[in-house]
Chain A
């Protein structure tokens, strides 16, 4: 067995004892199939049990283990040490979020943003259960399915330079979620949601940098969702000029 190791730098912050975040280095036995998340688990089990990080599913489904890997927002479980070895790996909590402890960030603002876009079906009228399920063609589903694949990991918010500058911006994941419901044939809540979209903090806070879509681990392409919503918002603006509500 090859006994080579890889250096992992972790930005530590324990609010009860550290005045400000600092970097701590760990040496972890290297193997090509080790993910960054597994290397963190190795550190926690064998080297330093005080290191805090969020994780759950280990397979890019739960969206818990988002972190900055060498400055790039990534899921710890979806990125492997072999992509960095023999260079060291630097881990930091997700950018643009307040640090709670070590690699754990405070996601409250992100969750509030998701809740703010009315992310639920608003049907035209309540449908009786006896009338059976809503019917939808494959084409109607295709219109929104991609935007429904979000796992709420927050990588796009860590990537977004506009969210970094202005925390009032609704942001990529929430706007993609909004697009997901607006584009659903079962939904009739577009008029309500367009009010959110039309604001400066809505789609118009975006300058189409597109990094959100680059870092998205589920290929949701929030940047595309936002640009499509900009077109919708422009139409809504024109209509609003002739038919103010």
Chain B
């Protein structure tokens, strides 16, 4: 017999973290292979001249407003993606103890590093 009383539903806050996870996953999937290809293969093999990635050039890029924004997004979003995945992997591994604490550590770390990178970029201007 189905019960007639309406049960209470609790909304999950997962959409925020899932959104960051999805955005970070997209970046990781599309951009990291390209970056590895350029910095790990093409430049060491001399197929791209290494002076294009000299300290001065990269510094100039990171201190422009759009460059700083790109660096922040490229560091922060994949980090949120990674820690969201780790948080859920802990559940998958059956580690039931201290889920709240796990959540604070995982998302707290992503948040802290995001703020750290943000301030680092700010003080470079």
Hey, which bits of chain A sit against chain B, CB under 8 A? Answer: 115, 161, 165, 195-196, 198-200, 202, 204, 207, 230, 233-234, 237-238, 240
Contacts and interface: CB of A to CB of B under 8 A. Distances in A.
A207 B92 contact: yes
Given A165-B92, A204-B14, A234 B19 contact: yes
Contacts of A237: 11, 13, 15-16
Contacts of A200: 10, 12, 14
B123 interface: no
Contacts of B88: 207
B98 interface: no
B9 A195 contact: yes
Interface of B: 2, 9-16, 18-19, 88, 91-92, 94
Nearest to B93: A165
A234 B12 CA distance: 10
B24 to A, nearest CB: 15
Contacts of B19: 234
Contacts, number: 36
Given A165-B91, A207-B92, A233-B15, A115 B2 contact: yes
Contact of B9 (A199, A204, A234): A199
Given A165-B92, A165-B94, A207-B88, A199 B10 contact: yes
A211 to B, nearest CB: 13
A47 to B, nearest CB: 39
Contacts of B14: 200, 204
B11 A240 contact: yes
A207 B12 CA distance: 14
8 contacts: A165-B91, A196-B9, A199-B10, A200-B10, A230-B15, A234-B19, A237-B13, A240-B11
